[in-house]
Every structure is written in structure tokens, then in C-alpha cells.
């Protein structure tokens, strides 16, 4: 597996299983993985909800931009991004130049089911606090998803995910796809 010369970077919406998949991929190749949100937490000494609460989303996005560049330059084998880390085309292009970017793509219905079961993420908590209405929250979150989709879709590789697939199954499917991608 040492043939993976570029970092494999996982992108996709909140709740798509990026962190669990990165962890499984790391275990399969006996390598560490870097989760961008955990790395931000470690470097800032504050969790993502704390950063949103104390300093706001703009500040978080600034830190996220800075950290993603630093982490990719450190060339770990596997990186999982936060759902909003592909903030614009420039960031996306920069990440693609230095990595194999993989879009983890469960259906939105599955994603939303996972997100609503655990409303800890700041964007979900904020929407829920505003309306306390599942349909309204779903519509708003779906809009965010649809806005980001054109960025995710530019990843080198897309990996669909079914609800009963374990992170290990997803991880192995990604390795298969990466091997094929690299043999071109
Ligand atoms: C966010 C996704 C989160 C985290 C933050 C913002 C987003 O990461 O970075 O809450 O804007 O989609 P996950 O995708 O790992 O939940």
C-alpha cells in the first residue's frame, strides 16, 4: 500500500462518515490519519462547537483554511476534511493538486437521518434552535448540501455509500478505486 504517494483526502457533507472511514483506512494500511476538525481542536485548544460559539463561523473558516493547507503540506497518508472545508474553487484546486481527493457520497436522506440523530454539530444545532421544525431544518440543510455539491463532485474519485456498509467496507472500496485511478 506504500504506493499511495499522495495523501488521500476525504471530502463530503457532514455525517457522510469521513472520519470513521479515514480511521478504517489508517488501520488497514497501518498508518495514522489526520482528521481536520480534530487537528483544529488540538491546535486551537478548543472544540469546533466552542470555536463557533466563542468566535463565530467566519473565524472558524479562516482557521480551517489555514489548517488544511498546513496539514496537506505535512503529507500524512490519509486526511478527512470537515464538510465545509472545500470553501471555494481555489481551495479545492489547491487540495486536488497535492492529493487524491475522494468524495464520500451517501444519499442525502441517509446523511440527514444521521445528522438529526445527533444535533451536536454547530450548523445543525443552530438551524434546530431557530425553527425546531424538522422539515424546515431539512430544507435548509439540503440547500447547504446542494450549494456544496458542485465542489464535492470535482473530487478525483466518488465513493457511494449504502446505509449498511461499515467504514471498513467503504475504506476498502476507496483503496480499490485509488489503485485503479493511479494505474492510469
Ligand atoms: C462543518 C462540518 C463539520 C465541522 C463544522 C462545520 C460544515 O465537520 O467542520 O461543524 O460546515 O459542514 P464534519 O463534516 O466532520 O461533521
For residue 148, give the ligand 1 atom closest to its CA.
12
| Average pLDDT value for residue range 86-112 | 97
Neighbours of 9 (CB within 10 A): 28
Ligand 1 pocket member 83 (CB < 6 A)? yes
The response to whether residue 121 sits with its C-beta less than 6 Å from ligand 1 reads yes
Q: How many CA atoms lie within 13 A of 54 on its CB side?
A: 9
Distance, CA of 180 to CA of 178 (rounded, Å): 5
Give 5's pLDDT tier (boundaries 50, 70, 90).
confident
- Which residue has the least CA distance to atom 16 on ligand 1? 14
Query: What are the phi and psi torsion angles at 19 (to 5°)?
Result: -65, -45
The mean of the pLDDT values for the chain is: 95
Q: Say if pTM beats, i.e. exceeds, 0.95.
A: yes
18 ligand 1 Cβ < 6 A: yes
User: Ligand 1 centroid vs 65 CA: distance in angstroms?
Assistant: 13
Contacts of 91 (CB under 8 A, 6+ apart): 65, 68, 85
Q: How far is CA 23 from the centre of its chain?
A: 12
β-sheet bridge partners, residue 176:
none
Angstrom distance (rounded) from CA 105 to CA 148: 12
pLDDT of residue 183: 82
Specify the CATH number for 8-182; select among 3.40.50.150, 3.40.50.880, 3.40.50.300, 1.10.8.640. 3.40.50.300
Using only C-alpha atoms, what is the Rg of the chain?
16
Ligand 1 pocket, 123 CB below 6 A? yes
**Domain residue limits, the chain:** 8-182
Instruction: Write out pLDDT tens, residues 107-157.
Output: 999 999 999 999 999 999 999 999 999 999 999 999 999 999 999 999 999
Measure 14 CA to ligand 1 centroid, in angstroms. Answer: 5
Distance CA 140, CA 156 (A): 28
pLDDT value at residue 1: 43
Read off the pLDDT of each residue in 10-25 and give the average, rounded to a whole number.
Answer: 98
- Cα–Cα nearest to 7, from 91, 97, 84, 67: 97
2 pLDDT exceeds 60?
Answer: no
Most informative mutation of 10, 11, 13, 14 for ligand 1 (most atoms within 8 A of CB)? 14
Nearest CA to ligand 1 atom 11: 84
- Integer CA distances (angstroms), 181 to 43, 46, 110, 124, 157, in order: 33, 37, 27, 35, 8
Q: In what order do the strands lie in the sheet with 100-106?
A: 33-35, 78-80, 8-11, 100-106, 157-161
Amino acid at each position: 500500500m506504500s504506493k499511495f504517494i499522495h495523501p488521500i483526502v476525504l471530502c463530503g457533507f457532514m455525517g457522510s462518515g469521513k472520519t470513521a472511514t479515514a480511521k478504517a483506512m489508517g488501520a488497514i494500511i497501518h498508518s495514522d490519519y489526520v482528521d481536520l476538525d480534530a487537528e483544529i481542536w488540538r491546535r486551537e485548544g478548543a472544540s469546533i462547537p466552542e470555536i463557533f460559539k466563542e468566535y463565530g463561523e467566519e473565524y472558524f473558516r479562516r482557521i480551517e483554511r489555514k489548517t488544511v493547507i498546513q496539514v496537506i503540506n505535512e503529507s500524512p497518508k490519509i486526511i478527512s476534511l470537515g464538510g465545509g472545508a472545500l470553501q471555494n474553487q481555489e481551495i479545492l484546486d489547491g487540495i486536488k493538486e497535492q492529493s487524491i481527493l475522494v468524495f464520500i457520497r451517501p444519499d442525502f436522506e441517509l446523511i440527514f437521518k444521521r445528522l438529526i440523530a445527533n444535533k451536536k454539530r454547530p450548523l445543525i444545532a443552530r438551524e434546530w434552535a431557530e425553527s425546531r421544525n424538522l422539515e424546515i431544518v431539512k430544507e435548509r440543510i439540503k440547500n447547504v448540501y446542494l450549494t456544496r455539491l458542485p465542489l464535492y463532485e470535482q473530487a478525483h474519485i466518488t465513493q457511494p455509500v449504502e446505509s449498511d456498509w461499515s467504514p471498513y467496507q467503504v475504506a476498502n472500496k476507496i483503496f480499490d478505486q485509488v489503485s485503479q485511478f493511479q494505474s492510469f
